[in-house]
Amino acid sequence: MAVDKTELPALAYGKLEAKEREKGKRVTRQRPAARWFNKLLPPLVAFVVFIGGWELMAGLAGIPHYLLPQPSDIVRAAVENARNLGVSVFTTLSEAIIGFLFSIVFGVLGAVLLASNKLVEKAVFPYAIILQTIPIVAVAPIIVIWFGAGANAIIIISFLIGFFPMLSNTLIGLNSTDANLKNLFFLYNASPFQMMWKLRLPAALPYIVAGLKISCTLAVIGAIVGEYIAGIGGGKGGLGYAITVAATRLQTPYLFACGLSASLMGIGFYLLVNAFSKAMLSSWHESEMGNK
């Protein structure tokens, strides 16, 4: 409830301000461990309740494991197939990382080239949008014909899925540079390279980070989709191949384990990018200043 300061006596208002200051001090003095505990406790409780309810209901209902396994069955399947699961995760992770790095490099460089010339941007960017709208499943067979089945095709598919978010977000950031700062650089006779490197790219960093957060998870999805279409089986197959084999054999607990591994991989990617975002932006940009 809002308090009208003009209606409070001076003494009462002074006491109110003192209480507010003391309250703020108590909040700021809160230990980091306590802050982490307060953040983690609600989702942890929800997780325990969800997993416990799943385990209990699936057991009481007598649902066959090949339809809906219990969490304990999923953990058991992951432990029993730990070696194969580890190889699959490593394979998919390697492909996703390489595809993600390619999407960063080519996405940022492509945005810089488009932002450097408005005529080039108007001519090329619509085709980038058209390429993004084509389903990757339709393009994947062509990629396999050109580059062969295996890691090369999977990396390219992962790159294509993560490329457009990096290109579009970086381009928006470069075009959103403050006009007054651009005029200031112009008055100081800055070259186009200096304006791009020292002004427009730093100003676009929040947009680049936003593109990273989108592209990092899409890279994992692209790698798994690529393994469905262009993957090679055997002992070095990725998660896409492992999921396909588990589905055909009705190994539902192991199927869940593979899906959860892919999800944890995407979460790990996102957390790393989020940590990079905090490191780069927390000292000056409002999007991260309040999250210290």
| Calpha distance 133→149 (Å, rounded) | 23
Residue 218 has which token pair? 């899409």
Domain covering 85-281 in this structure, CATH number? 1.10.3720.10
Neighbouring CB atoms inside 10 A of 54's CB total 16
Maximum Cα–Cα distance for the chain, whole Å?
82
Is the pLDDT confidence value at 13 over 70?
A: no
Is the pLDDT confidence value at 283 over 60?
A: yes
Residue 207 has which token pair? 């947009």
pLDDT tens figures, 237-266:
889 889 988 988 889 999 999 999 999 999
Residue 162 has which token pair? 């993560």
Is the pLDDT confidence value at 292 over 60?
A: no
Q: How many CA atoms lie within 13 A of 67 on its CB side?
A: 6
| Calpha distance 289→204 (Å, rounded) | 17
**129 to each of 111, 134, 145, 165, 167, how far by Cα in Å?**
13, 9, 24, 10, 10
Quick one: pLDDT band at residue 8, thresholds 50, 70, 90? very low
| Calpha distance 18→58 (Å, rounded) | 55
Specify the pTM.
0.81
pLDDT tens figures, 32-89:
777 777 777 888 888 889 999 998 988 888 888 888 899 999 999 999 999 999 999 9
